[in-house]
Structures are given as structure tokens and as C-alpha cells.
């Protein structure tokens, strides 16, 4: 038995009857179960109960065993002084207030609907599977699933917002600087995300802005900080960038000792650090007021047009310095632009608007729902069980579902798990 199941039972009053008795023989009628508290303190606030026909208002604490009250040290915590009912699965100890009076105890074990317990046990006691509800997910009503995915996407935006504001403080509350760090990280994708982020952290944004008027100069800055100009290569463009970087490093007193070296291993050539950093340099050269312009974009077609760019000319027939390849323009692909929009643009747009007291949720969700679904192992596995993601809003929601609910066994806080446990055969 898990405590979150008892929380679920109490919150939604999954009992066979409405009038009960406490361990002391007092009649108990539950008027209002209270508001579920997910933070420190009692589990439910502002409940209203009748004990022996007397109305009580206060908080409710829930445990598997009564003795857990002492195991958790609640008798020493003033936050629990207003607890009016102790709800438990098993009663093995009396619990007292500081004034010596007994806190009424309600043992729920014998009052929970049998089908509710059965569905709960069925959900959590199967052989190990990818997710607990693997066998039931396909049968859940589409209306429930679709609404839950929208809610999950919003939760994902809110969770990212917390991370963004933490990074905003590290950027001296400079939204342009924050955007640069996030774009840099996401240009590195999964393999070089941390490396590219460390590059962005190593360069004051005012230096980026000063160098952005010349794309080759900014490219030299980025490649130099990445340590990609440290070698000795007899190549005209390489030597030109190396000389520019040496000048910039001295002029702005730059230090790249904390930068994580970018990787090439198992990367497709279009994702080589040289290519991605050149594209980033061109982006900042092309759009001098990048943050303001991104915030003003409204249609998905505008985003695609905004990110329609390539590398500096040298990379048309190179992927690395001194090695000539077939001539090919290294443009940002639609798929790569989608990742930038999903992981950088929409979260920062949402976060900035909320700080300004504006509501752009519907606009953000509209853009996300117009983009193709991401292709990753989590989305593929969900779609194999039941087709759930046809756009990026849904694929992002599935990542949130798997990482924040399924993997943490928070099934009773999930609309799918709630439906399964609450189902009646």
C-alpha cells in the first residue's frame, strides 16, 4: 500500500458509504475533504468534518500507519497543530496534540470500495513493463487523453519557466543574453548542448553584440572559445579566423578554460560543431535585435522564414578546416528549426510574456500544435501502444508524462491512472 493511494481515496472520497466512525467510536461525517497540499505541511488543508455531530474545520494528515506520525516527527512541528483528523490504513499507535488531547483517527482500510483497491493493485502489481498502464492505455477515452496532453504541455512550459528564470538571474536579468545562451545550447543539440552552453557562458553578451556586425568575426569568437582554432592548419580561412580570435581574446580579456570541448564522435557532418557555430554566427549577424524580433513573431511561417539561413561561404564546400567536400549549402533544416522553436523560442516567449503579465498560452500552443511530432524513443513507444502524438505539442507532452509521471509512479496524479483506478467493472 502506498500513501499516494490514500491521498487519492481521500481527495475523491472513494468510499462505500458516507458516514463512518473513528477508532474512539466517534461518528464521522466528511463534509469537505479539503485542498490537497503538495508541499510541506499537512496533506489536506481546510477540511470540514462532523465528529459526533460537532462541526470541525482544520487540516487532515494521511499515513499508512498511525505511528508514522512520530516517524516523521510531526509531534515536534507546529505546522501540524491544526490537524483535526488522522487518516490511516493501519492503526498501531495513538497520536496526541501538544495539549495532550487525542487526534481522532480514521482507519480507511475497510471502507474503500473493493473495485477501487482492485484496480489500484492491478495497476501497480504487474510484471515490470515500460509504463504501468501499458495494457490499459489504448482503452482510455480520447477526450481524457487529449485534454491531459494539453495540460501536460502547459506543465512542461511552467517547469521550463522555473529553469529559465534561474538562468535569467545568472544572465543579470538580460533577456537577450538568456536567449543567446539557450540558442547556443540548442544549436549543440544533445551531444554538444553542454559544450555550446559553456561557450555562451564564457562570453559576455556585450562582446557577442559587438562582434555580430561581422559574421566571420563572430564565428572566430565562437570557434576560438570552443578551442577549435588551437591547432596548426595550413588553410587560409582557418588562419584568418585564428588571427581574428587572437585579437578578440586579447581585446576583451576572454578566458575559455572552463569551456567543455565539443565532440565530433558519431555526429553526422551537418551537425559538426564547425557548421553549427557558423550558422549561429550568421543568425546573430542577420538579426541584430534577435530577442525583440523573436518575441514579435506570430505565425509558424514567420518562424521558418526567420531561421532561413546558412553558414558563412567557406563551409559551402567544407565540414572541417582544410578538408574540401562536395559543394553544398549548409542551411538550417525544417526539422532543426522545429527543435529550436520547441526548446528555445516558445519556452522563452511564454516565460517573458508571463513576466510582463501577458497571456500567450493559446498562441504558443497553436504554434506547437502546427509543428510535426518529434521522433524519439519515448514518443515512438507511446505511439506503438496507442497513437498519441501527431504534433510537437503532443510529443512534448508525452516527454513530460514519461519523465514526470510514469517514471516516478505518479499514476494517481495522472488523468490516465486516475481513470483506470476509478473505473468500475
194 within domain boundaries = yes
Q: What is the pTM of this model?
A: 0.81
> Which of 332, 353, 384 is a domain's end point?
332
The number of folded domains in the chain is 2
Could you report the per-residue pLDDT of 113-170, keeping only the tens digit for each? 788 888 887 787 666 688 989 988 999 999 999 999 999 999 999 999 999 999 999 8
Among residues 112, 140, 160, the one where a domain terminates is 112
End residue of a domain, out of 283, 306, 332? 332
Residues 102, 176 within the same domain: no
Grid cell locating 239: 588562419
Q: Are residues 178 and 281 in the same domain?
A: yes
Range of the domain at 101: 3-112
Quick check: 258 pLDDT over 90?
yes
Mean pLDDT over 189-213 rounds to 97
| 396-422: pLDDT as tens digits | 999 999 999 999 989 888 999 889 887
Amino acid at each position: 500500500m502506498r500513501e499516494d493511494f490514500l491521498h487519492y481515496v481521500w481527495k475523491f472520497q472513494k468510499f462505500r458509504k458516507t458516514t463512518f466512525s473513528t477508532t474512539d467510536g466517534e461518528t464521522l461525517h466528511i463534509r469537505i475533504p479539503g485542498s490537497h497540499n503538495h508541499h510541506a505541511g499537512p496533506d489536506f488543508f481546510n477540511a470540514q468534518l462532523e465528529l459526533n455531530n460537532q462541526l470541525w474545520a482544520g487540516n487532515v494528515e494521511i499515513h499508512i500507519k498511525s505511528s508514522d506520525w512520530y516517524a516523521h516527527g510531526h509531534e515536534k512541528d507546529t505546522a501540524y497543530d491544526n490537524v483535526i483528523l488522522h487518516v490511516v490504513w493501519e492503526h498501531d499507535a495513538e497520536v496526541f496534540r501538544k495539549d495532550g488531547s487525542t487526534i481522532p483517527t480514521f482507519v480507511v482500510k475497510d471502507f474503500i470500495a473493493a473495485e477501487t483497491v482492485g484496480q489500484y493493485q492491478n495497476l501497480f502489481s504487474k510484471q515490470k513493463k515500460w509504463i504501468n498502464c501499458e495494457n490499459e492505455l489504448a482503452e482510455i477515452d480520447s477526450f481524457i487523453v487529449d485534454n491531459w496532453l494539453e495540460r501536460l504541455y502547459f506543465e512542461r512550459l511552467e517547469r521550463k519557466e522555473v529553469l529559465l528564470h534561474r538562468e535569467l538571474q545568472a544572465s543579470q536579468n538580460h533577456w537577450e543574453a538568456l536567449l543567446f545562451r539557450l540558442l547556443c545550447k540548442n544549436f549543440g543539440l544533445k551531444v554538444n548542448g553542454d559544450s555550446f552552453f559553456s561557450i555562451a557562458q564564457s562570453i559576455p553578451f556585450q562582446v557577442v553584440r559587438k562582434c555580430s556586425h561581422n559574421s566571420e568575426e563572430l564565428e572566430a569568437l565562437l570557434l576560438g572559445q570552443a578551442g577549435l582554432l588551437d591547432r596548426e592548419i595550413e588553410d587560409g580561412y582557418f588562419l584568418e579566423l585564428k588571427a581574428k580570435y587572437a585579437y578578440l581574446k586579447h581585446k576583451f580579456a576572454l578566458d575559455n578554460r572552463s569551456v567543455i570541448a565539443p565532440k565530433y564522435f558519431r555526429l553526422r557532418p551537418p551537425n559538426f560543431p564547425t557548421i553549427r557555430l557558423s550558422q549561429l554566427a550568421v543568425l546573430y549577424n542577420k538579426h541584430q535585435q534577435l530577442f525583440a524580433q523573436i518575441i514579435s513573431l506570430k505565425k509558424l511561417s514567420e518562424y521558418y522564414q526567420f531561421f532561413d539561413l546558412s553558414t558563412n561561404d567557406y563551409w559551402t564546400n567544407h565540414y572541417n578546416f582544410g578538408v574540401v567536400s562536395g559543394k553544398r549549402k549548409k542551411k538550417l533544416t525544417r526539422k532543426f528549426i522545429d527543435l529550436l522553436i520547441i526548446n528555445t523560442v516558445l519556452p522563452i516567449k511564454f516565460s517573458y510574456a508571463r513576466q510582463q503579465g501577458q497571456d500567450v498560452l493559446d498562441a504558443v500552443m497553436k504554434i506547437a500544435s502546427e509543428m510535426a511530432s518529434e521522433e524519439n524513443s519515448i514518443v515512438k513507444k507511446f505511439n506503438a501502444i496507442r497513437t498519441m502524438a501527431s504534433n510537437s505539442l503532443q510529443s512534448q507532452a508525452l516527454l513530460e508524462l514519461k519523465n514526470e509521471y510514469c517514471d516516478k509512479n505518479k499514476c494517481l496524479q495522472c488523468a490516465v491512472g486516475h481513470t483506470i483506478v476509478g473505473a468500475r467493472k
